[in-house]
Structure 1
Amino acid sequence: MVDELNVDIRPEYPVSWQAAAINGVLRGTMKPISTLLVRNTTGMAVASRLMCLGERVPGILPGHVSVVPDGFGSCTGEWVYGGPYLDERKVVLYFHGGAYFVCSPATHRPITWRLSAAAGSPVFSLDYRQGPVHTLAESLADALQAYECLLNLGYAAKDILLAGDSAGGHLTLATLLALRDRGMPLPAAGVCLSPWTDLSESRRRVNVWSDPMLPAGRVDWLARRWTDGLDCRDPLVSPVYGDYTGIPPLMIVTGSTEVLRDEARRVALSARENGVQVTYEEWTRMPHIFPLLADVLPEGRLFFEHVSRFLDAVRDHHATAAPEAA
């Protein structure tokens, strides 16, 4: 099972015409809008309000999918059920992306309902606190509390999967490192989609022009803003600098033209050096968080088949490891 988990995968699917069209649209809209707005607090507020307007547009979910707003303790979010006959003894704790200042569980339902179906279990999508009002430490505190709440609800750690995209991928890695450092029981695995892992002073120089969605300069600017007054090489701030010894298996996925590609790859290599089994996937010419576009993007739908295979390998690995540990 180690060989099935510790692999580099570069899917060889032909790039769909939908992907080519979406890349063109993103390059002509999202990238220049981000370049214009993500410069100060006012621009960030405008971007956040635009995203809020998008949340109010009713999403089209399949009839077999249900969403239930809920909260436990101070944790709020929503339960997402990707179909009937789910194993409710297991759960996925999901952290949405949005650069720590935009988006919500509602914006990421195209991912969470499909992830629920792929995992065969409900997803709890956490509505964690975000900037500019709140700090990275407060976002991480919410993630840790949500995990503890799931344990208190009776879920075994081995039956919990952590997952997230972009800033949520950052939060997934930081949560795993913090749980390990606190001596808490660790979840079965972590899935990171286009994770933002390096918030240090390093400037991004790879895929600056080829990324169709993220302007590298604005990503660097946000990193400086969120780490002001912090040690930006602290692994809980920049997980790319973490020691991953003892962390459960990871699935790290990125697009070949993303500005975040290399830092995701660095985490994969570093974690492997620390003895972690890592499935690293690099999808040709896929935009940032491409599974979010799964309603219209064939590659976005195929991604969840890869997640299912990864989770099957994780289950087999744990089943094999349990007798050995005994």
Structure 2
Amino acid sequence: MASAEAQKLKDLYQSWNERRAANQNEPIAFLRSLFQEWEQVSTEVPGVWYESIDGPVTGIRAVPIGADEARAILYVHGGGYIGGSSASHRKFAGHLAHAIGAPAFAVDYRLAPEHKYPAQLDDVRAAFDWLVAGGVSPSQIIVAGDSAGGALATALALLLRDEGAPVPGAVVALSPYYDSEGFGDSFESNTSSDIMAGARGRAGIHANVSMFIADESQRTSPYVTALRADVTGLPPHFLTVGEGELLVDGVLRFGDMLREAGIDVVVEVVPDMQHVFPLMAGRAPEADASVRAIAEFVRTHVPTTRNEAVHAPA
């Protein structure tokens, strides 16, 4: 059974549904205002400071005191490719940075529908290149993201591999959009348990991705639908998803693909949790447990260059 603290995310998503029902036309500005409210479910993190970044792409950098600057987290926010921002995910990036003991750069990529694919992937690539130019080895970069951002995190690893460039040390994906075509049975079986997206089902994911891609032929690109990818040569992945989400079957299937290719993968399926539940870090025990598991995974695959860990997990 979910903790009492986890109710806050359920309440937020129910509020979104009620307001969406009252705004049938759903202008982009309205939807984006909802996604900004993700900022409410994380707590502030003591010992982490923030700075705005105005480089090739903009964003917010979260730096824990005593951070290992030889490593970096590139954080890619969710929001269905149409919303979300570094501000909406600032505090969660701070939780990851504190738990891992490395700076986190939450990137602001261009949003659809004004900017179609591959603008978002191009911007995430530019942010990765910016970190490398700043002296961080690709193998010391953890690319993490939630929802659409989780899909972009894996897409970046695929793109780098396809270009013959060094891939990141690890990918962390929270409730990622791996199944953009709606293959999974969970798009039907979990319509009542997924508060955020259940009422819209397969049609919802199809419509959302249609706003992101320039034409339907792009939907089957492995950079858009990871289930279409050849995963050979990808870095280790940590995947987490709520058991009752529409997206759970796609996450499970992608995890199986990684295992079959001999790639280290952790797949965390948590009962009674909603979409991107780790964003409740600092508030709900389920989210804090997931952040600790992510930090342990990172210590295994992207260990600190120092003799001791900088921080214990939050």
Which TM bucket (shorter chain)? 0.7 to 0.9
Q: Whole-Å Cα distance in 2 between the matches of residues 62 and 274 of structure 1? A: 37
Kindly provide the amino acid, as one letter, of the partner of residue 138 in structure 2: A
Which residue, out of 144, 149, 158, partners 1:177?
A: 158
Q: 1:237 to 1:35 in 2, by over 3 A?
A: farther
**Is the aligned partner of 1:78 residue 2:60?**
yes
Give the equivalent residue in structure 2 for 1:208.
Answer: 191
In the alignment, does 2:289 pair up with 1:302? yes
Aligned to 1:257: 244
Matching residue of 2:116: 135
Q: Distance in 2 between matches of 1:153 and 1:24?
A: 40
Q: Which residue number in structure 2 is paired with residue 48 of structure 1?
A: 32
One-letter amino acid of the counterpart of residue 313, structure 1: T
1:271 to 247, 258, 267: 258
Alignment of 1:126-165 (within 5 A): 126-165=107-146
What residue identity is the alignment partner of 1:129?
A: R
Q: 1:234 to 1:60 in 2, by over 3 A?
A: closer
- Normalising by structure 1, what TM-score? 0.84
1:214-238, CA deviations, whole angstroms, 9 ceiling, x for partnerless residues? 2324233212332351331110111
Residues 11-70 of structure 1: per-residue CA shift (max 9 Å, x gap): xxx531222x33652463223444665x76x53322224555x5999x963442211001
Q: Distance in 1 between matches of 2:146 and 2:129?
A: 21
**What is the number of residues matched between the two proteins?**
297
In structure 2, the residue matched to 1:9 is none
Residues 1:313 and 2:300 aligned together:
yes
TM-score (norm: length of structure 2): 0.87
Query: Per the alignment, do residues 247 and 36 of structure 1 end up closer, same or farther by CA in structure 2, a change over 3 Å counting?
Result: farther
Give the distance between the partners of 2:209 and 2:220, measured in 1 at CA: 12
How far apart, in 1, do the equivalents of 2:149 and 2:39 lie?
22
| Aligned residues of 2:243 and 2:270 also touching (Cα < 8 A) | yes
Alpha carbons of 1:33 and 1:238: their partners in 2 closer, same or farther (altered >3 Å)?
farther
Go from structure 1 to structure 2 and tell me whether the alpha carbon gap of 1:181 and 1:56 turns closer, same or farther (over 3 Å shift). closer
CA distance in 2, matches of 1:90, 1:177: 21
RMSD: 2.4
Structure 1 range deviating more: 109-118 or 62-71: 62-71
Per the alignment, do residues 315 and 55 of structure 1 end up closer, same or farther by CA in structure 2, a change over 3 Å counting?
A: closer
| Distance of 2:246 and 2:19 partners within structure 1 | 17
Q: Which runs of 5+ in 2 are unaligned?
A: 306-314
Q: Distance in 1 between matches of 2:240 and 2:5?
A: 20
Q: Is the 8 A contact 1:169 1:195 kept in 2?
A: yes
Look up the SS of the partner of 1:114 in the other structure.
helix
Do residues 285 (structure 1) and 272 (structure 2) align?
A: yes
C-alpha distance in structure 1 between counterparts of 2:196 and 2:110, whole Å = 24
Partner SS for 1:113: helix
- Cα distance in 2 between the residues matched to 1:214 and 1:242: 25
Aligned counterparts, 1:16-165, within 5 A = 16-19=3-6, 21-22=7-8, 24-26=10-12, 28-34=14-20, 42-51=26-35, 54=37, 61-72=44-55, 74-81=56-63, 83-165=64-146
Deviation string 1:271-299 (CA, Å, 9 cap, x unpaired) is: 21122111110011111111112243221
Q: Match for 2:116: what amino acid? A: T
1:234 aligned to 202, 218, 221, which one?
221
The answer to whether the aligner puts 1:225 opposite 2:211 as a matched pair is: yes
Aligned partners of 1:199 and 1:237 also within 8 Å:
yes
Distance 1:138 1:276 in 2: 28
For 1:144, give the aligned amino acid.
Answer: R
* Alpha-carbon distance in structure 2 between the residues aligned to 1:25 and 1:123: 28
Change (3 A) 1:213 1:45: same
Q: Which runs of 5+ in 1 are unaligned?
A: 1-13, 319-326
User: What whole-Å deviation, never above 9, does each CA across 1:121-147 have from its counterpart, x for those lacking one?
Assistant: 000111110111011200000011111
Paired residue for 1:5? none
Distance, in Å, in 2 between the alignment partners of 1:46 and 1:255 is: 26
For 1:46, give the aligned amino acid: F
